[in-house]
Amino acid sequence: MTTFRDHVIWITGGGSGIGRALAEAFAADGAMVAVSGRRAEPLDATVAAIESAGGRGLAVPLDVTDEDAVFAAVDTIVDHFGRLDVAVANAGFSVAGRIAKLSAEDWRRQFDVNVVGLTSTARAALPHLEATKGRLVFIGSVMAYIGAPGTGAYAASKFAVRAIGESLAMELHGSGVSVTTIHPGFVESDIARVSNDNQLKPGAKDPRPAKLMWPADRAAKVMKRAIARRKRQFVFTGHGRVAATLGRWAPGLVYFAVTRGSRR
């Protein structure tokens, strides 16, 4: 698929996991890729991988909770590459813990990154995407459809991402800009090794089920296809689709299964 040849693509959270895999996949199609994130070293590593394969990359460090920095990053990218065709709001992390134990600061931190940071990314990119009839992409989660004990803050943020994606797709109808909200199941990433204060703990164990985990490069391929086709909503991994379907159409069954299991 060469849909993205000579396109300029910006990915937040582009230094690892899904973000890096997407960056490399787009670059392999002939796209020029800018990656952003808080840590410069992973971004530089992503750009080095792109350039070693013959592509063009650009590292633009930023914290998506800094609105001015987000808008400045877009200016830097457009100044460097001349345009913007695709913006992928991928930056995010997970605050874990039961709701009774989470502080107001935990909630603010979760929503500042996953929701406010995502909308800042969209607002900064939109004028340029309107000029190119481009694509805006939100990375949500299967947890936008289903909650579970200990995941209330993260699930709430991803429910919000889903709502924002649906609303913005309607608002942009007729503009030429598509909005694709992608909801992955379990994909290899550092998300489970990031603490509630949004700090990476490299040695932390990933508690997610290894047998259900998709490699990031495999996930990037199906995500890139959904973006190319301008799908509005895309849920993937087999288990993710099952969970999303149950969460949407059989929430009572989910409640029964989870609460019954917790009593054992």
Contact 125, 70 (CB under 8 A): no
Query: Across the beta sheet with 86-89, what order do the strands follow?
Result: 56-59, 32-36, 8-12, 86-89, 135-139, 178-184, 233-236
Q: What is the mean pLDDT of residues 48-69?
A: 98
Q: Tell me, what's the pLDDT at 197? A: 75
In a domain, 75, yes or no: yes
**Domain tally, the chain:** 1
Question: Over 80: is that where the pLDDT of 190 sits?
Answer: no
User: What residue numbers bound the domain in which 15 lies?
Assistant: 8-262
Q: How confident is the model at residue 40 (pLDDT cuts 50, 70, 90)?
A: very high
Q: What is the mean pLDDT of residues 95-119?
A: 97
154 is catalytic: yes
Q: Tell me, what's the pLDDT at 3? A: 85
Q: Which residue has the higher pLDDT, 124 or 201?
A: 124
CATH number, residue 104: 3.40.50.720
What is the chain written as a DSSP string?
--TTTT-EEEEETTTSHHHHHHHHHHHHTT-EEEEE-S-HHHHHHHHHHHHHTT-EEEE----TT-HHHHHHHHHHHHHHHS---EEEE-------S-GGG--HHHHHHHHIIIIIHHHHHHHHHHHHHHHHT-EEEEE--GGGT---TT-HHHHHHHHHHHHHHHHHHHHTTTSS-EEEEEEE-SB-SSGGGB-TTS-B-TT----S-GGGPBPHHHHHHHHHHHHHTT-SEEEESHHHHHHHHHHHH-HHHHHHHHHHHHT-
Bridge partners, 212 (sequence order): none
Average pLDDT, rounded, for the chain: 93
In a domain, 2, yes or no: no
- What is the distance between the alpha carbons of residues 27 and 5, in angstroms, rounded to a whole number? 8
In a domain, 91, yes or no: yes
Q: How confident is the model at residue 193 (pLDDT cuts 50, 70, 90)?
A: low
With CA atoms as reference, report the closest residue to 165 among 146, 148, 141: 141
The tokens for 122 are 């969209």
In a domain, 208, yes or no: yes
With CA atoms as reference, report the closest residue to 77 among 135, 34, 109, 48: 34
Q: Which of 26, 154, 159, 186 is catalytic?
A: 154
Per-residue pLDDT tens digits for 162-180: 999 999 999 999 999 999 9
When mean pLDDT is compared across 6-20, 36-50, 75-89, 192-206, the lowest value belongs to 192-206
In a domain, 86, yes or no: yes
The tokens for 127 are 């004028």
Per-residue pLDDT tens digits for 199-246: 766 766 767 677 887 999 999 999 999 999 999 999 999 989 999 999
In a domain, 1, yes or no: no
> How many other C-beta atoms can be found within 10 angstroms of the C-beta atom of residue 111?
18
In a domain, 172, yes or no: yes
